[in-house]
């Protein structure tokens, strides 16, 4: 077996230089004795490794959230209490109040001398004023007017209405009621009114 021929140093340098230009393809080298030798030199230069640069992580910046505004609770609306209806100018007398009035003891003469209230129908206010004096209560209910006399024994009401073309007031209705007895006649009630009412004749 023939040992391989060694190339001179100059030839090897030329082969390496040529290999650098042609890559790893075989190169024909002419030796000094006139023979050609195929020399294949692998291009060992490796391209630098690519370094993968990871994209920097994106930091999420929290968006500040405005605190929810709390609406103040509505102030309670105070509704004023309904005004109590005004008391009537002339409330009906309570039985206990009337019963507390003085009740003088009348004799038969005083009762006989008293006028009958029914006889005052058609009379003017002045006539009633003369017979019974000032009323305990006067109440106007247009067009009428009521005069009320209270005693411990009875309550006497005389109702006036305007009459005639002049519209003068006259007694149109008379009513009486006992306080603590089943019944009372007109003259007895009138006697009690005359006995306790000042200003009469």
Structure tokens at 114: 């008293």
Distance CA 186, CA 116 (A): 6
Beta-carbon contacts of 164 under 8 Å, excluding residues fewer than 6 positions away, are none
- Please report the pLDDT score of residue 160 as a whole number: 98
What is the rounded average pLDDT of the residues 42-57? 49
At 64, the pLDDT band (50, 70, 90 cuts) reads low
- Please report the pLDDT score of residue 40 as a whole number: 58
Distance CA 116, CA 17 (A): 165
pLDDT digit string (tens) for 10-38?
A: 555 555 555 555 555 555 656 556 666 66
Distance CA 187, CA 116 (A): 5
Instruction: Give the mean pLDDT of the chain.
Output: 73
Is the pTM higher than 0.85? The answer reads no
Distance CA 112, CA 120 (A): 17
- Please report the pLDDT score of residue 181 as a whole number: 86
Distances (CA, A) of 60 to 55, 63, 149, 195: 15, 9, 98, 107
At 87, the pLDDT band (50, 70, 90 cuts) reads very low
pLDDT above 80: residue 173: yes
pLDDT digit string (tens) for 106-149?
A: 889 999 999 999 999 999 999 999 999 999 999 999 999 999 99
């Amino acid at each position: 077996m023939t040992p391989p021929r060694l190339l001179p140093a100059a030839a090897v340098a030329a082969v390496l230089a040529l290999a650098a230009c042609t890559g790893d393809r075989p190169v024909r080298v002419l030796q000094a004795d006139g023979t050609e030798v195929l020399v294949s030199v692998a291009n060992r230069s490796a391209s630098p490794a690519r370094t993968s640069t990871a994209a920097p992580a994106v930091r999420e910046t929290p968006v500040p959230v405005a605190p929810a505004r709390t609406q103040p609770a509505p102030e309670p609306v105070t509704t004023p209490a309904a005004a109590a209806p005004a008391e009537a100018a002339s409330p009906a007398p309570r039985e206990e109040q009337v019963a507390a009035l003085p009740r003088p003891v009348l004799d038969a003469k005083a009762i006989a001398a008293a006028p009958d209230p029914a006889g005052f129908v058609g009379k003017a206010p002045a006539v009633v004023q003369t017979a019974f004096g000032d009323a305990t209560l006067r109440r106007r209910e247009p067009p009428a007017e009521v005069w009320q006399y209270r005693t411990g024994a009875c309550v006497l009401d005389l109702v006036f209405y305007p009459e005639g073309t002049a519209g003068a007031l006259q007694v149109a209705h008379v009513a009486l009621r006992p306080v603590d007895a089943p019944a009372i006649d007109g003259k007895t009630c009138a006697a009690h009114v005359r006995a306790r009412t000042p200003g009469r004749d």
